[in-house]
Amino acid sequence: MTTLTPDAVAALFTRADGDYLFARWGRPIVPVVFGVTDATVAVLKGAVEALCLLSGHRMAETDPELGANLMVFFLRDWDELPETPNLDRLIPELGPLVARLKAADANQYRIFRFDESGAIRACFAFIRMDSHLSDVPAETLALSQMVQAVLLWSDTAFGDTSPLVVIDGTAVLRPEIAGVIRAAYDSVLPAMERDPAHALRLAARLGRMQ
């Protein structure tokens, strides 16, 4: 397995403004998916289950506060978001957000919410099925989206390199990214960290996993 250097690990959680910010889920993940067939829902939930198995985290049937805390929306056009019932209650800044997404011609966006300790308590993922994403196999799209929801990665983490790699025609999680996810959920480490030295602790665990 390729072992990432501490600097490479730090880059995965260092935002474009230079701030280091790491967070993982602090509660069981309860996914719900909108805008796709039941078969695709099953594929997405299967991807969440696989990542929970990898990380040692948990899924649940319901979240006591929100009901579902990982909400994934598939749509054809960003204008569909304001038409979604009650979504503006969950995301008060919905109108300006849609305007920014349209202006950027974006095809995906994620919003995270955090608990008092800084751990992830909810994630809203929006995927606009443009011509590019429509050509991506459902299993590949599901795994890619769930990987990006399982941790608070940097906003530049996967801009140039996908977290997945194709082996024998099947997209799988890159071993080094799988290692980071597994290390990130080590119970000894904090659920949220702003100190870049945290990357050294992650990198040390990667070396022991070889």
pLDDT digits (tens, 9 = 90+) for 52-105: 999 999 999 999 998 999 999 999 999 999 998 888 888 888 999 999 999 999
Residue 2: per-residue pLDDT: 63
Residue 16 CB: number of other CB atoms within 10 A? 9
Residue 21: per-residue pLDDT: 98
Q: Which of 46, 34, 36, 32 is nearest to 134 (CA)?
A: 36
Q: Which of 206, 146, 137, 145 is nearest to 166 (CA)?
A: 137
> In the chain, which residues have pLDDT < 70?
1-2, 207-210
Beta strands in the chain (DSSP E): 22-23, 31-34, 70-75, 108-114, 120-128, 164-167, 170-173, 192-193
- This prediction has a pTM of 0.91
Distances (CA, A) of 172 to 24, 41, 141: 21, 19, 11
Residue 154: per-residue pLDDT: 96
